[in-house]
Amino acid sequence: MKTKFQAIKGMNDLLPEQSAVWQKVEHLLRRLMQQYGYGEIRMPIVEKTALFKRSIGEVTDIVEKEMYTWTDRNDDSLTLRPEGTASCVRAGIEHGLLYNQQQKLWYMGPMFRRENPQKGRYRQFHQLGVEAFGFNGPDVEVEQILLTRRLWQEIGIANDVTLHINTLGDPESRKVYREILVEYLQSNFEQLDEDSKRRLESNPLRILDSKNPKLQSIIESAPKLEDHLDDESKEHFESFKGLLDGMGVSYVVNPRLVRGLDYYNRTVFEWMTDKLGAQGTICAGGRYDGLTEQLGGQSTPACGFAMGIERIIALAEETEFGQNVSNASDIYLIAIGSVAEKKAFNIAEEIRTLFPSLRLSMNFGGGNFKKQFKKADKSGARLALILGEDEVANESCGVKFLREEKPQESMSWDSIADTIKNYFQLLDR
């Protein structure tokens, strides 16, 4: 028996009926990037494993359990990128984009994490990532929040999302806090779950992020990072919040927001929704001032975020923005007989030249009127043009509005363009 191949679990094909919404969202994202002055960077999908270990952190879920890693033929350990920030910083350092400069960069593409697939969580998923380098203040963070807010508004999901913010302070104050936290957790050691016990030494802050209901009361009573923050980080966070207030952005200060990647300091944020079940974070990021130096560059302040495009699409599909978006044809060209079939190419090409944004399908493979009309209807077209031998002889064309109760008309080739223009009321979509 022949093997029927299937896509890898958690890695999905995107079919034409879905890709129309994707294209619309991607188009909007590109426009927003331009509006806010970000330039596109495209990085490879494969990097040295050490890059991710050093940036995301050795004892994070991503590095410990989720990376697709293999040994290349020359014994290099390589990994499919699980996120884009590390590669972006690597590329920035490599091409001298970061030192003493201000850069605003974005990228979009597939990321790979070997998680347990479920709704909204995939092994190959797509992110839009945005990274700003060389900006110290909270102003650039606020602009990134405004950019995302504009996106939610345009997609029509602004009422479905909540902004959670927190500050992680500087590395020194976090170190002091970490010791206090570990001491507290150790005094409650027996009540911790296996995961938390394991994290106690390696990554205790992540325990605060645990969803295990049995841990909630311990977490509630844990010492708070905000009580141990350095003054500068406190000030930074205050002015960040002040700017958000000034722009009418509502937010929740969530002291438990610690992020799952190690490179953050100071401001962190996540946009969450309760419309997607367990996978409610649609966009997340923050400041990572230490990463560039950690990866061998000069010290460079930086902040950014990434959004999960699958999750944005899932929300968008429920809104007006995401409905009735399709790649269906606009015009279907019916031709009966070999003379008409030949002429149809000329007419089709001419229409495509005049109306580059319209989708025109020609009938291929012959068939009688009835069969061709059926195909026209199935194509989703709103307008059918009909060409037979008689029409070619007298330079005319049958015109049928497929979605209206109007009888078929006949018109000269000269007037087809006007009819199309008036009917679709656009020249460039």
Residues that bind ligand HAM (CB under 6 A): 83-85, 113, 115, 121-122, 125, 127, 129, 131, 260-261, 281-286, 288, 304-308, 310-311
For ligand HAM, the closer of residues 131 and 289 by Cβ is 131
Considering the complex, what minimum distance in angstroms separates the CB of residue 80 from ligand HAM?
13
Residues with Cβ within 8 Å of 329's Cβ and at least 6 positions away in sequence, in order, are 359, 360, 361, 379, 380, 381
Considering the complex, what minimum distance in angstroms separates the CB of residue 168 from ligand HAM?
12
Q: How far apart are CA 98 and CA 323, in angstroms?
A: 41
For ligand HAM, the closer of residues 107 and 332 by Cβ is 107
Tracing tokens 């896509």 back to the chain, one arrives at 7
Instruction: Using DSSP, state whether 150 is helix, strand or coil.
Output: helix
How are beta strands 331-335 and 360-362 bridged, if at all?
parallel
Considering the complex, what minimum distance in angstroms separates the CB of residue 400 from ligand HAM?
45
For ligand HAM, the closer of residues 49 and 127 by Cβ is 127
Give the chain's length. Answer: 429
For ligand HAM, the closer of residues 225 and 276 by Cβ is 276
Q: How far apart are CA 261 and CA 63, in angstroms?
A: 9
For ligand HAM, the closer of residues 222 and 272 by Cβ is 272
CB 21, CB 29: distance < 8 Å: no
Considering the complex, what minimum distance in angstroms separates the CB of residue 88 from ligand HAM?
8
CB 82, CB 111: distance < 8 Å: yes
For ligand HAM, the closer of residues 145 and 387 by Cβ is 145
Considering the complex, what minimum distance in angstroms separates the CB of residue 99 from ligand HAM?
19
Neighbouring C-beta atoms of residue 107, cutoff 10 Å: 21
For ligand HAM, the closer of residues 310 and 391 by Cβ is 310
CB 307, CB 279: distance < 8 Å: no
Considering the complex, what minimum distance in angstroms separates the CB of residue 312 from ligand HAM?
8
The residue number with the shortest CB distance to ligand HAM is 308
Q: How far apart are CA 99 and CA 164, in angstroms?
A: 31
Considering the complex, what minimum distance in angstroms separates the CB of residue 57 from ligand HAM?
12
Q: What is the DSSP string of 19-88?
A: HHHHHHHHHHHHHHHHHTT-EE----SEEEHHHHHHHH-TTSHIIIII--EEE-TTS-EEEE-S-SHHHH
Closest to 381 in 3D by CA, of 334, 329, 429: 329
Considering the complex, what minimum distance in angstroms separates the CB of residue 256 from ligand HAM?
15
For ligand HAM, the closer of residues 141 and 170 by Cβ is 141
